Amino acid sequence: MGSENIKIHEQCRVSPPSGSARETSLSLTFLDVLWLRFHPVERMFLYTLPRPESEPSIFFSNVIPKLKRSLSDALQHFPPLAGKVVWPKESPNPIVQYTPGDAVSVLLAESHAPFNLVLDNSPHQASLSRSFVPPLSSSDSHASVLSLQITLFPNSGFSIGITTHHAILDGKSSSLFVKAWSFLCKSSLHQLSPSLPPNLLPFFDRSLIKPPTELVLNFTNSFTHILTPSENPHGRCLKLLPFPPRLEDQLRATFLLTRQDLDKLRKRVLSKWDVQNGSESTVSSIPPTVSSFVLTCAYVLVCIAKAFEGFEGGKHKFAFGFSMDCRARLNPPIPDNYFGNCVWGGLIDCKPLDFIKEEGFVVVAKSIHGNIKEKLAKGIFHGAEGAYSRFESLAKERIETVGTAGSNRFGVYENDFGWGKPAKVEIMSVDRALTIGLAESKDGNGGIEVGLVLHKHVMDLFVTLFHQGLSQHH
């Protein structure tokens, strides 16, 4: 593990300014409860920092107080983040509750890991950066919502590791919070008490999430046995399920698809649209375009499947599940700054062998595109009642579902705390399952960054396939 590189300076707690936030509680909606015991989402923002600020004495006496003060100011607008997930006896659903005095745990640390290596996109030991994100505490009776770690790399830079409870906030909400915090921190370097612009204020009204009735009944029944473990017959268990990170012989790397790469992939898909049929071949006319999200997922999936195929000779079979933000897609739509979970998943209908076919990329891209189009046409929850049994049957057939985390639309590289934009942003938790981490490219030119953790032999092959596929001119 990389933890021998870490020296803990202080474990502190940061709460909203006293008297600024009243007691609040939010009920969890059905979109939140799905994630109740899912592993937390872990992200790391890396910043380079010039001297003298990156010298330990100055960093801890000068930079840290600014980060802590602005964090406290941000929490006054996001009090649930300082609170806890609890499940009162009289309540049908868990709630998140903030009581004045509640606080966020912040770990202050120093690392002597080589900063250049942590910044590097090429494959390196997956365990290296594990120690830069903090754990999130949970028990049967309650769970924390947010935990932070600020790590100094002396004379080089620092990282902010942020671990969030998925049942309380999705990626968009978590991004909103980091934007608000960085905005307040950067503004406070120039003005005394900056206020947040309206677009960075969270919207907490839960009554806007209207569950489709038949769906909730089906879902609640399917999920009860996950949420109500046999060892706890009262069914009130809030302890997060163990999803241990895969670190043994695993490598972590970041890959970039530039805007030009995506244009090339788009041409390839559209030119072969009519020739290639997926397993659920619906004859659909060639669309005017295919989104960068669809192209990225299809391309990366096919490279992963072929890399496993090359290493294991067809033992591994894949399906693909993805999540999409529904704020603008609900009827009526809900505000962009809605705070909570407003994501719903799609599972594509591809045969496991479609992923390694000659033109697997086109087949998979058509399937993802078709699934999204269908959801937009028939409603986001269309087909949802069968989702749980489909996941179950995939598991029985030993088919691994590759998932996604993050998005190329969150703007994670815009988070400037006053010392410049991030040098790198990484979703650490992609090592807890086979997951494709997504972010917009750092240069802001419309490319997409992909974060992956794979077994080292699979990673070697993946690297080759990824670059080879892009250099083929079709």
416 is catalytic: yes
Alpha carbons 229 and 234: distance in angstroms, whole number: 9
Spell out the per-residue pLDDT of the chain, length 474, in tens: 445 679 999 999 999 999 998 999 999 998 998 899 999 999 999 999 999 999 999 999 999 999 999 999 999 999 999 999 999 999 888 999 999 999 999 999 999 999 999 999 999 999 999 999 999 999 999 999 999 999 999 999 999 999 999 999 999 999 999 999 999 999 998 877 789 999 999 999 999 888 766 565 555 555 555 555 555 555 688 999 989 999 999 999 999 999 999 999 999 999 999 887 654 445 578 999 999 999 999 999 999 999 999 998 878 899 999 999 999 998 889 999 999 999 998 999 888 889 999 899 999 999 999 999 998 898 888 877 777 788 888 889 989 999 999 999 999 999 999 999 999 999 999 999 999 999 999 999 999 999 999 999 999 999 999 999 999 854
Contacts of residues 95-99 at CB distance under 8 Å and 24 or more positions apart, as own/partner, are 95/25, 95/26, 95/27, 95/28, 96/25, 96/26, 96/28, 96/145, 96/168, 97/23, 97/24, 97/25, 98/21, 98/23, 98/24, 98/25, 99/23
| Domains of the chain and CATH, by start | 2-227 (3.30.559.10), 250-471 (3.30.559.10)
Bond preceding residue 422 cis, omega within 30 of 0: no
Alpha carbons 202 and 337: distance in angstroms, whole number: 5
Query: What is the DSSP annotation of 168-229?
Result: T--HHHHHHHHHHHHHHHHHHTTSSS----GGGS-B--GGG----HHHHHHHHHHHHHHHS-
Amino acid, res. 238: L
Backbone angles phi, psi at 159, to 5 degrees: -125, 150
Whether 154 and 125 have beta carbons less than 8 Å apart is answered as no
Best CA proximity match to 324, nearest among 375, 273, 286, 260: 375
> Which of the following is catalytic: 9, 416, 457, 460?
416
The token pair at 219 is 């879902």
Q: Which residues pair with 255 in a beta bridge?
A: 450
112 is catalytic: no
> Which of the following is catalytic: 166, 316, 369, 455?
166
Best CA proximity match to 40, nearest among 430, 463, 464, 457: 430
- Does this model's pTM top 0.85? yes
